Amino acid sequence: MSSGLVFAAAGAVLFAMGLAGIVLIGHLLRRILAFNVMGSGAFLILVGLAQRAGGADPVPQAMVLTGIVVAVASTALALALARRLHRLTGRTTLSATDSDPE
Amino acid sequence: MIPLLKRVAVILAAASFAGALVVAMLDLPAPTVHLPAAVEANMAASGVAHPVTAVLLNFRGYDTLLEVGVLLLALLGVLAVTGVRAAPRAVAPAEPAKRMLARLLAPLMMLVAVYLLWAGAIQPGGAFQAGAVLAAAAVLLHLTGILPGWGAPGPRLRVSLAAGFLIFLAVAGALLARGALLAYPPAQAGMLILLIEAGLMVSLGLILAGLFLLLSRDSGDEA
């Protein structure tokens, strides 16, 4: 197992952890963090898998650099929306009545 | 609260998903296309000497173009969500030593940003890293109370925010006349990439700083 594959496997575990976090956690701030963990997992898989045979591959590295910047932007937008929701309703979770009756 | 059963089911499903992914990655055949070799073969025509920069701004330039568009959209989204407020509030001034340090560091960070931009052609660096350093300088100045949060952006700020995307788009459009989007003529490729990156550095720095300074202007608690 090359070091690239170890990175990719760690990325897969991070991705699954983030996914479970998004499903299980109600608080929006922690859900945004879980989304970022998931994204980091995807980046690790991309970079790790590409260099499993040896040398680094500049193409996925450039893609991941693009992805990181987009992730920052989407995180900021998500935070803005979460703050707006908090200011308007005082809640930090999404309404349970829309899709998830309990 | 989430019932225990659902919690266990989700965790088990996520764990087996991760396991399946790892098994699939172990079984993956070797790639049939060797991309690093393809990049290496075309480096001479790319106009820069660092492969990541060459991919980012030449071989896959349209990805970067759209990415800057996404960033601009995110900023517009934040502007729309936070609403336009005329009077931005300044953060309470920090202690004199911190303010002094921020004043000393900010010009150095601008210097580092320009160096990163220039270094991107031959080693790790480039417009995104440079923009991030610029944004960090703005956040530092804001947190020490020197730079107030943003109100509604004025005409000059709007132009600067969009300049990187517009320059990139203009170059792409001009090159379209030659047949393909962002297919630089090899002789001018280095010059064009530096022009695009310089625009991107300014705009990205402002956009990233704006994401913070726009969110910071209201504490979110008040009605």
Instruction: Report pLDDT digits (tens) over A65-79.
Output: 889 989 999 999 999
Place of tokens 């900023």: B75
The C-alpha angle with vertex B83 and arms to B80 and B86, in degrees rounded to 5, equals 135
CATH of the domain at A85: 1.10.287.3510
Chain B contact set for A59 (CB, 8 A): 35-36, 39, 55, 59-60
Whether residue A99 is contained in a domain is answered as no
Place of tokens 């932007």: A73
Whether residue A94 is contained in a domain is answered as no
For residue B164, which amino acid is it?
A: G
Residue A68 structural domain: 3-89
Whether residue A96 is contained in a domain is answered as no
Chain A contact set for B70 (CB, 8 A): 70, 73
Å from A17 to nearest chain B CA? Answer: 7
**Largest Cα–Cα distance of chain A, in whole Å?**
52
Whether residue A50 is contained in a domain is answered as yes
Taking the C-alpha atoms of residue B222 and residue B217, their distance in angstroms, rounded to an integer, is 12
Place of tokens 């998004």: A22
Residue B58 DSSP symbol: I
User: What residues of chain B, 12 to 51, have a C-beta less than 8 Å from chain A?
Assistant: 13-15, 17-18, 21-22, 25-26, 28, 30-31, 35-36, 39, 51
For chain B, say whether A96 makes contact (Cβ under 8 Å). Answer: no
Task: Verify whether the Cβ–Cβ distance A74 to B21 is below 8 Å.
Answer: no
Whether residue A95 is contained in a domain is answered as no
Sequential pLDDT tens for chain B (223 residues): 678 898 899 999 999 999 999 999 888 887 777 888 888 888 888 888 888 888 888 888 888 899 999 999 999 998 888 776 655 666 777 788 889 999 999 999 999 999 999 988 888 888 889 999 999 999 999 988 888 878 778 889 889 999 999 999 998 888 888 877 778 888 888 888 889 999 999 999 999 999 988 887 665 444 3
The C-alpha angle with vertex B85 and arms to B84 and B91, in degrees rounded to 5, equals 130
Q: How many domains does chain A have?
A: 1
Assess: ipTM above 0.90: no
Please tell me which residue of chain A has the smallest CA distance to B2.
A24
**Largest Cα–Cα distance of chain B, in whole Å?**
64
